Amino acid sequence: MPMPNINHIIPGPFQCGNYDPRNLPDLDDDSLDDLTAVLRALAKGSYPRLDSVPLALNAYNCNRKVDIDPWAYFHPVTVITPADVKMKGSPSIELDKDVIDDMAKPWNPIRHTGGQFNAAKRQFERGDWTPPPGSARYRFLCFIHKHRINRKSTIQKGVHTVSIWDREWDELTWHDTYHVDRETRRREIERFWQCVRMPNLIDRGYTREQFMNRIRYRIVYDICERVENTLRDTVPPRNTLYAVIGAALQHMNNACDAQVSIVPDRLELFGAQGLSLVPRFFAHLLWLCLDARPDWTREQRVKFVKQFKILERLRWMRAFVRRDLERRIAEVEMEVEDGDGGDEREGREWVFGLLGI
């Protein structure tokens, strides 16, 4: 009997070359290198390599519940032309082919199907949403932006924002969590969306004018300014990369919430420190990499995990990552008892010592 083709349930830009009941994507060497770079940065509390962040966020879609959860797609980072600089031609966005195909499918509204929170079944704090056969899977199309800022109190020049198109409401929400020069960045992002070539979203059902009228600008974030007032020092603009990651994970964790675009203005979101944010993101990426390399020897696995020892000063990270990994190990043990677990995933408590948790 031929193995079923399950590529259609692997979220892009990944593919699945071999049948695996866990719906694991193929991770080529380049993809593994990107995820490794992000894991290293998260473990050190440093800034992840910017061009690796979208792939890592896309990888957060890959889990065993792919038949339930709506997905988010993250496009490679766009560099925004400063407001005082003339644009050289029109920017262009090319979506992943799987995303383009998905956009041609009907979206099944969550607010009409009663997607509800089910704590016993969904430990990722997501809703219970089962799309009808043939309906769309991607709810969010996400675009991380890098802006240039000239702030005398810091040598850093990059501020990060994110635009998220929500198919539930057919609206795009732009989130800017940094309090300095917001109006300048708003003008920049308006010009970007006014000029960008993106035929699979703009001019497909909406004229440019209609699309521009469907943009919401979320700038009611005050936590960064409050932190500066408390520290009496400048928050580096680059810290907004973690705020973008926090907003992205907030959307994916609550993809069955009709009003998920209202991201709370809280410190744990600005720094992505909450249990369901960077700690869970870290645990997910680590498990995904290990699961996607079943042929590794124990020595290779140990060498891989050793790279990600979490710094002692990141106590919140150490505690939350351990909590999430313990939950994952308990789930695997239950699957093994039911005859559904893989040998390569048994007994992973050995990672705790290597991670310093």
User: What pLDDT is recorded for position 224?
Assistant: 97
Q: Is the confidence at residue 117, as pLDDT, over 50? A: no
Tokens representing 290 are 């290990």
Q: Is the confidence at residue 128, as pLDDT, over 60? A: no
Would you say residue 1 lies in a domain?
no
Q: What are phi and psi of 355, to 5 degrees?
A: -85, -10
Collapse the DSSP code of 116 into the 3-class scheme (helix H, G, I; strand E, B; otherwise coil) and give the result: strand
User: Is the pLDDT higher at 207 or at 338?
Assistant: 207
DSSP code of 311?
P
> What residues contact residue 127 under an 8 Å CB cut-off, 6+ apart?
110, 115, 116, 117, 118, 254, 255, 256, 257
pLDDT-derived band at 311, boundaries 50, 70, 90: very high
Residues 176-207 pLDDT 10s: 999 999 999 999 999 999 999 998 888 777 88
Would you say residue 197 lies in a domain?
yes
Would you say residue 84 lies in a domain?
yes
Cross-strand pairs, 116:
128
Q: Among 12, 77, 28, 26, which Cα is nearest to 48's?
A: 77
Q: Among 141, 109, 168, 107, which Cα is nearest to 248's?
A: 141
Would you say residue 176 lies in a domain?
yes
Tokens representing 296 are 């590794």
- Distance, in Å, from the CA atom of 98 to the CA atom of 174, rounded to the nearest integer, reads 24
The CA distances from residue 41 to 53, 242, 285, 293, 308, in Å, are: 11, 11, 12, 21, 8
Domain of 281 in residue numbering reads as 7-355
Would you say residue 38 lies in a domain?
yes
Task: Please count the structural domains in the chain.
Answer: 1
> What residues contact residue 342 under an 8 Å CB cut-off, 6+ apart?
22, 291, 294
Mean pLDDT computed over every residue of the chain:
87
Collapse the DSSP code of 313 into the 3-class scheme (helix H, G, I; strand E, B; otherwise coil) and give the result: coil
Would you say residue 347 lies in a domain?
yes
pLDDT-derived band at 346, boundaries 50, 70, 90: low
- Distance, in Å, from the CA atom of 248 to the CA atom of 214, rounded to the nearest integer, reads 20
Would you say residue 14 lies in a domain?
yes
Residue 334: how many other CB atoms lie within 10 Å: 11
Residues 105-115 pLDDT 10s: 989 888 865 54
User: What pLDDT is recorded for position 124?
Assistant: 37
Work out the end-to-end distance of the chain between its first and last CA atoms, rounded to an integer number of angstroms. 45
Cross-strand pairs, 174:
163, 217
Mean pLDDT of the 154-163 span: 92
Relative to beta strand 158-166, strand 171-175 is antiparallel
Mean pLDDT of the 53-69 span: 82
Would you say residue 279 lies in a domain?
yes
pLDDT-derived band at 335, boundaries 50, 70, 90: low
Tokens representing 235 are 């928050």
The CA distances from residue 297 to 185, 290, 294, 305, in Å, are: 49, 11, 8, 13
